[in-house]
A and B are shown apart, each in its own frame.
Chain A
Amino acid sequence: MKKKYIAAIVIIAIAITMIVSMTGDASTYVSFSEAKVLSEKGFKKSIHVVGELPKTASGEVVGIQESPDKLSFKFEMVDENGLKQQVLFAEPIPTDFTRSEQVVIVGAYKGEKFVAEKILLKCPSKYQEEPEFTS
């Protein structure tokens, strides 16, 4: 019976290691100001910020600047607390970027700048609930 217990202990030990590393690997959803504080404390890992693109009254997205070679761009995002922040992204503008209802950026502050590694878009009509009808 002894070997069985040793095996069980080893397996449980590995499982616990996995649980511990999971809590370390998990990212969090934060606001821009919390992200700023984290980066000033020397926290290096990427976090998630949820927000929206600022729009004019007529619904046009403002604050997007594309690099001349189109391979990267800057944009402004307003987080859930209403704080606006410029975000840099080293990828071309996703085609449906301006149509997105909600934007989740994954990245971190590098000094004063927020550099995104990944952008997740939530488009309102991906699974259309309220289609427009014309009779």
Chain B
Amino acid sequence: MIHYFEGQLGHALVIIAFITSLLSAYAFFKGRNQDKEWTSFGTKVFYAHTLAVVGIIGTLFYLITNHYFEYHYVFSHSSKILPVYYQISCFWEGQEGSFLLWIFWNAILGVVLINTNKFWKAPVMFVMALTQVFLVSMILGIVVFDVKIGSSPFMLLREVIDAPIFKTNPNFIPEDGNGLNPLLQNYWMVIHPPTLFLGFATTIIPFAYCIGGLIIRKNKEWIRPALPWAQFSAMILGVGILMGAYWAYETLNFGGYWNWDPVENAIYVPWLVLIAAIHVMIAYKKSGSALKLSMILVVASFILVLYATFLTRSGILGNSSVHSFTDLGLSGQLLIYLLAFFALSVFYIAKRWRDVPDTKEETSTYSREFWIFMGSAVLCLMAFQVLLYTSMPVYNQIAGSLGIDLNLAPPTDIYDAYSLPQLILSVFLAILSGTGQFFWWKKMDGKKLKEELRTPFLISLVVSGVIIVIGKITDPFYVILLIACMYSISANAKIFVGVAKSNIRLSGGSITHIGIAMMLVGILFSSGYSTILSTNYTSMVWSKEFPEEVNRDNLLLFINEPRQMSEYSMIYRGIRKETREEGFVDQNDLVLTVDPLKVIRKGDNQDTLTLISPENSYFEVEYHTEAGKQFTLFPRVQINKAMDMIVYSPDIKRKLSADMYTHVRTFPDPDQEPDWSEPKEVKVEIGDRFFINDYVATLERMEPISSIDGTPLSSGDVAVKAVINVQGEFGDYQTEPVFVIRDQEYVGRIDDQVNDLAFRISIQNIIPQENAVILAYQTTQKDWIIMEAVKKPWINLLWIGTFLLVIGFIVAIRRRYLEFVKMRDKGVEA
């Protein structure tokens, strides 16, 4: 039975959310000049809006958790076997759900703003409510004059998909859904998208303060309340980005944490601009310069978020990205959203431009502003560079609409296109962040500067020198980057010690800068000096086909056959399933049941085990050295039949100084029947030894049996099994082919297969007179995997640096927020 009510309720709530956002935007605009009535009306309507948004999310979750597969969103993104925490992830697999997440955060942030700030409430909430109008319109799902506005998550399957079954049976409901994309079934994917979307949502707040300030002619007062929010936003975005990087490192198969994918770039660019904006805002607070620049950068960071949204959701990226969303036909609407806010910003900035005071004094090289502007300029250039390259599909589109076939394809060398220019600019960033801090805290002249910089400079040279010698760093560019980072760390450490002595609450900047420099060092080593351990030097026969030498980074491992790889001897042990009760269990020992989550272990006890995820299989790979077994890794493959997706994920052995990263590239297709050899027959008596596929086998005994696979034999049937012991390289296997005679005349043969030893065996005939049996066996290729192993040194510095970055931000946010609260409580917020 189709559940109509829930979907209609959801859709009604969407419409309510849309109308309330529109209404509250209007009310807040009317109330912008401290009009109490309009503001309080706007507030009430915004609360109603928030309730509606929560209602939408609750309704959609209800549909998902009750498996109402008559709904398209539920069918496309979930399935019955999905655990609850991944049911939450269904929200961000689809466009509609991820818009909802964004809308949700915006509503919550709106409520926070309403309750923390009276003076700014109306103008700021006007901008917030206005963004909600646009966002909610994306999931509105109504048709006005033949124009589809938004795509609703509450559409029935039959309304979206034109399958023949709906013509014969309109009430058809599929048994199960497509399931969640295997890539999203990872715990990082439960927390990374909400974090990133919170970051996305918070970029609106400094923007809202800026535009709100311009609307009510508080052209400079907006900076104080906006600053802690900008810092909060930059912190959350930074954490969100790095969580994404960590997820990619753990789950994706490209062997790293950053791939310069358009989706990654789309969020990296606004983040850089936001960081630049924060620096300029701080400079303004200290000395009153560069207000116009602050405005431009704050606005730019939000507009770039909208541009990122447009890029990733309009389908314009097409083939150039792994994780852009499917095109929902919203590109027009997204473009309007982008252009509307762009126009709004340009309009108000232009309108107030003359009223905004210019910087009067000439900035001297020894002033703190000079160094901050330099740093911001470098950040903006980094952003510009990435933006330029990522926008290539946009150039194609624009040129195409003008009738020019531009035909630009993404750059083929990612390192040259992105990593190198970004790292070059990072050198400047590191130097500036080290030096600039001295100007920040003290009045400087040439002589004093030399004095201050001497110690950190010497320390950085000594430390870098040691690292260069030990780490055998020869690339001159890496040497420069390393020295610059060490300089930044030691200079900022010196500042930190000085500041912490007087007031530790002011030390946020230096901690953050140390974090950034450490992250850069981590990136330098883990990427620049990662070594592929599995590089293949043997079996070059076929590579003669290639016109020149090619790197072959992969290793073929047959089951239970050790292969040498750098200092390790590797052994692949076979495919494992992960059970709740006993961890990893050999797949060959398990029998599937009707319930996809339950399996039965072969053998006498017939234990029932629970699979953690039936889609997942793990390859057990052992690393040995001469000293014995070192560690075992379980790289994963995830097969989603409904989506026809096969996803491999690495497993990582974490050591303090390096990560050992192992991932499987391919393995025999489980759906494909292997090629069996022609059967070979052997005649054996009980107790005889013989060879199967070069393994020693013994026919232990013959046993009559009374049931086959749990089904008892009917009277008149006779069955017997042969118990054969086979000695593998690492332990014995028992195999039991069965011979049945039904109704005293029909012969049935049930063969038994030993996957690890790559053979199957059956009883051809029994010769009672000779007390012998004729066995037939067939062999095939042994089970194998092709894997790549990479060593990534000092990647931990990247993660440690990230933690420092966050701590630094928290210290800085606290300081700026207390400043704002102090002034607000004094009533001088404007």
Contacts and interface: CB of A to CB of B under 8 A. Distances in A.
B172 interface: yes
A122 B644 CA distance: 12
A125 B643 contact: yes
Contacts of B421: 18, 21
A91 interface: yes
B411 A26 contact: yes
A21 B424 CA distance: 15
B550 A92 contact: no
Contacts of A126: 643-645
Contacts of B642: 128, 131
Contacts of B163: 130-131, 133
Interface of B: 75-76, 161, 163, 165, 169, 172, 174, 178, 319, 326, 362-363, 365, 373-374, 377, 380-381, 384-385, 388-389, 392, 407-413, 416-417, 421, 536, 539, 541-543, 545-548, 550-552, 554, 556, 642-646, 648, 665-667, 669, 784, 786
B76 A110 contact: no
Contacts of A48: 409, 412
Contacts, number: 152
Contacts of A21: 421
B547 A111 contact: yes
A63 to B, nearest CB: 15
Nearest to B781: A70
B644 A123 contact: yes
Contacts of A135: 165, 169, 172
Interface string A33-54: 0000000000001111000000
Interface string A1-14: 11110010001001
Contact of A90 (B392, B407, B412, B546): B546
Interface of A: 1-4, 7, 11, 14-15, 18-19, 21-22, 25-29, 45-48, 67-72, 74, 88, 90-96, 99, 104, 106, 110-111, 113, 115, 117-118, 120, 122-123, 125-131, 133, 135
Contact of A131 (B161, B169, B373, B669): B161
A27 B542 contact: no
A46 B545 CA distance: 19
Given A130-B163, A131-B161, A106 B412 contact: yes
A74 B412 contact: no
Given A26-B392, A92-B554, 15 more contacts: A7-B377, A11-B377, A15-B384, A25-B411, A25-B413, A25-B416, A27-B408, A71-B539, A72-B543, A92-B665, A113-B546, A123-B644, A128-B644, A129-B326, A131-B178
B319 A104 contact: yes
Contacts of B669: 95
B543 A90 contact: yes
Contacts of B542: 67-69, 72
Given A27-B409, A68-B539, A18 B76 contact: no
Nearest to A108: B412
Closest 8 CB pairs of A and B: A67-B542, A27-B409, A46-B412, A110-B547, A90-B550, A25-B411, A48-B409, A125-B644
Nearest to B76: A128
Nearest to A106: B412
Contacts of B409: 26-29, 47-48
Contact of A92 (B408, B551, B786): B786
B780 to A, nearest CB: 15
Contacts of B536: 71
Contacts of A67: 541-543, 545
A29 B417 CA distance: 17
A129 B794 CA distance: 43
Contacts of B385: 18
Nearest to B93: A127
A6 B551 CA distance: 47
A15 B378 CA distance: 11
B198 to A, nearest CB: 26
B407 A29 contact: yes
Contacts of A128: 76, 178, 642-644
A16 to B, nearest CB: 11
A15 B387 CA distance: 11
A3 B543 CA distance: 59
Contacts of B165: 133, 135
B550 A93 contact: no
Contacts of A2: 362
B685 to A, nearest CB: 39
Interface centre among B412, B556, B644 (most CB of A within 10 A): B412
A126 B325 CA distance: 11
A111 to B, nearest CB: 5
A25 B373 CA distance: 29
A4 B373 CA distance: 10
B776 to A, nearest CB: 28
B161 A113 contact: no
B545 A88 contact: yes
Contacts of B556: 69-71
Given A25-B411, A92-B786, A120-B319, A115 B547 contact: yes
A108 B318 CA distance: 23
A71 B552 contact: yes
Given A11-B381, A71-B556, A126-B645, A95 B551 contact: no
Contacts of A131: 75, 161, 163, 174, 178, 642
Contacts of A15: 381, 384
A95 B646 contact: yes
A90 B788 CA distance: 13
A1 B360 CA distance: 9
Interface centre among A4, A68, A91, A129 (most CB of B within 10 A): A91
Contacts of B362: 1-4
Contact of B408 (A19, A28, A111, A125): A28
B666 A18 contact: no
Contacts of A46: 412-413
29 contacts: A3-B363, A7-B374, A11-B380, A14-B381, A26-B408, A26-B411, A27-B408, A28-B407, A29-B407, A46-B412, A67-B543, A68-B542, A70-B784, A71-B539, A71-B556, A90-B543, A91-B665, A92-B665, A95-B648, A95-B666, A110-B546, A113-B546, A115-B548, A123-B644, A126-B644, A126-B645, A128-B643, A130-B161, A131-B161
Nearest to A30: B407
A25 B786 contact: no
A126 B539 CA distance: 35
A125 to B, nearest CB: 4
B783 to A, nearest CB: 13
Nearest to A97: B666
Nearest to B411: A25
Contacts of A26: 392, 408-411
Interface centre among A27, A99, A110, A123 (most CB of B within 10 A): A27
A104 B165 CA distance: 35
A40 to B, nearest CB: 15
A110 B554 contact: no
A133 to B, nearest CB: 5
A26 to B, nearest CB: 5
A75 B622 CA distance: 33
Nearest to A22: B388
A74 B421 CA distance: 35
A43 to B, nearest CB: 13
Contacts of B374: 7
Nearest to A117: B412
A118 B547 CA distance: 17
B444 to A, nearest CB: 17
A132 to B, nearest CB: 8
Given A3-B363, A133-B165, A115 B377 contact: no
A19 B416 CA distance: 14
B416 to A, nearest CB: 6
B500 to A, nearest CB: 33
